[in-house]
Structure formats: C-alpha cells, structure tokens
C-alpha cells in the first residue's frame, strides 16, 4: 500500500490505522502513534475516523443492505474509500510536507514469552479501558436520562433545519445526536423515533440512503473524540469534527438530489 498512500500524501505505515478502523476507530486513532510526523498522525487519524467501524456497519447492513439491497451497501463502502482518498489528498495539500520513504525495522525473532505478551497486550488495551469505557458508560447514562426526561423533542426542534435540508423527518434528529454516544444506537433509536421497525413504511429508499450516509461519515463516537483530543490536541480535534460534519452533510445532500431523480 506504500505507493497508494504516497499518492494521498502519506506513506504505507498509515494504512494500519485505516484497517484497524474497520473494527473500532478508538484503537485506530491510537495506532497513528507509529507515524513520526505530527502532520501525518493528524491526517491518518482523520482517515481512520472516516473508516466505517463495526457499529456503523450495523447501520449500513441493518438499513441499506436489508431494505435497499446489498449492492447499495457495497456502493457505500466504495464511496467511503473514494472519500478517504480525497480527504487524504486534500489535507495533504492543505498541510504540505515531504513524506519520507517507508522504513521498517525488522527485529530479531524469538519465541514469545507469555508474561511479555500479556504485558504488551495490557499496554495496548490500557488506554482504551481507561479512556473509552468510562465515556461509553457515561454516554449510556446520559442517553437513559434523555429518554426519561424526554429531551428528544427539544433536540429535534434544534436540528429541524438540518433535517429539512436533508429531506428527513424531524424525529430523526435525536438519533444523530445520541449516535455520537454509541453509533450502533442510531439504528435502534431510528426504530423508536419512527414508531416502527418497518422503516420503508415511513422512509423512502432515498431517505434511508441519506440517513445512512450521514451516519457513516460524521464523527464516530465520543470515545473517538476523547482519543483524538489526547493524540492531536483540541484544536486539531475540533478541525477533524468540523470536517467530518461538513463532509457528511455534503455527501448526504448530494445523495438526496441523486435519489430525487430516481423513480421509487
């Protein structure tokens, strides 16, 4: 992947965080530490957040693949790769820097010792446990409080201009906010917001695609935001969040106009 990554301004090592992102964006952002340049770490972190994690895969398969068909779901993944490549090239142009060649150090191979393996495993998992888990728990508590006090109506009212722009019902706004806490809840809360699990009885295929594309491309979750803050600082984290929201809005808006010309 070294030649391909150089085309977007990075080198082959940056492919590791991108691949890890398909599992979870939190360790993917942590994996950017292997890059020596701060600029490369930032661009690789943004690319990693665009990679659809397992939680966003739930939304893609549960909505698009189930209701629209598997080829539309495959199209989202292909579009995602194009957006990642474009984003990397754009950010590399905005932040120019000579990208060095990829040099991999090959260590001497020995039979691993169990104690060393366990220690290294804990070192890799420690920050995920310390940073991500508390945020997920706190997010779940906040979600439960929001449902109890019925804050959803106020949130939907605030987000109604965005929903109108994307051609989605106002009741969908709540799912996008709480999706930041736990992305896979976007699907479950969509059922709750629409009052039915038969989504096609309320939304058209175009609206399903618009909703899924927005969920796929905007910032994954609060745990990822926390890790971004720790790795690249609050200024670059804010820039990454703003970029993802702009990209998600533009892609979803383009999808709305695209499906407007396709007969139902």
Going 4 to 1 to 92 to 222, the CA torsion angle's sign is: positive
Q: How confident is the model over 60-119, as pLDDT tens digits?
A: 998 999 998 999 999 999 999 999 999 989 988 888 877 666 666 777 888 888 888 888
Q: Which residue has the higher pLDDT, 127 or 76?
A: 76
Contact assessment for residue 227 and residue 26, using Cβ atoms and an 8 Å cutoff: yes
DSSP characters for 135-182? HHHHHHHHHHHHHHHTTHHHHHHHTHHHHHHHT--GGGHHHHHHTTT-
Give a three-class secondary structure readout of 23-42: CCHHHHHHHHHHCCCHHHHH
Tell me the C-alpha distance between 199 and 190, whole Å: 8
Half-sphere exposure of 99 (CA within 13 A, CB side): 26
Q: How confident is the model over 193-223, as pLDDT tens digits?
A: 787 878 888 888 999 999 999 999 988 788 8
Q: Which residue has the higher pLDDT, 157 or 105?
A: 157
Q: How confident is the model over 241-254, as pLDDT tens digits?
A: 999 999 999 999 99
Is residue 251 helix, strand or coil? Answer: helix
Is the pLDDT at 134 greater than 80, yes or no?
Answer: no
Q: What pLDDT score does 117 carry?
A: 87
Confidence of residue 6 (pLDDT cuts 50, 70, 90): confident
Instruction: Return the domain boundaries, the chain.
Output: 2-99+112-260
Q: What pLDDT score does 78 carry?
A: 95
Tell me the C-alpha distance between 50 and 70, whole Å: 21
């Amino acid at each position: 992947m070294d030649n391909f990554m150089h085309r977007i301004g990075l080198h082959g090592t940056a492919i590791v965080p991108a691949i890890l992102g398909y599992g979870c964006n939190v360790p993917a952002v942590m994996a950017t530490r292997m890059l020596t340049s701060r600029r490369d770490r930032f661009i690789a972190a943004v690319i990693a957040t665009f990679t659809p994690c397992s939680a966003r895969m739930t939304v893609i398969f549960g909505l698009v693949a189930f209701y629209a068909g598997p080829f539309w779901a495959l199209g989202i993944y292909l579009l995602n790769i194009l957006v990642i490549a474009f984003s990397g090239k754009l950010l590399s142009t905005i932040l120019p820097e000579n990208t060095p060649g990829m040099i991999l150090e090959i260590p001497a191979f020995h039979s691993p010792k169990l104690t060393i393996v366990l220690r290294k495993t804990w070192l890799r998992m420690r920050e995920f446990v310390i940073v991500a888990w508390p945020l997920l728990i706190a997010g779940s508590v906040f979600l439960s409080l929001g449902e109890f006090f019925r804050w959803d109506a106020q949130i939907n009212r605030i987000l109604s201009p965005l929903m109108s722009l994307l051609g989605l019902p106002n009741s969908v706004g709540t799912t996008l906010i709480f999706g930041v806490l736990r992305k896979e809840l976007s699907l479950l809360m969509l059922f709750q917001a629409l009052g039915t699990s038969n989504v096609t009885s309320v939304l058209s295929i175009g609206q399903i695609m618009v909703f899924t594309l927005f969920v796929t491309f905007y910032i994954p979750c609060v745990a990822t935001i926390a890790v971004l803050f720790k790795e690249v600082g609050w200024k670059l984290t804010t820039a990454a969040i703003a970029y993802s929201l702009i990209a998600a809005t533009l892609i979803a808006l383009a999808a709305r106009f695209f499906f407007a010309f396709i007969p139902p």
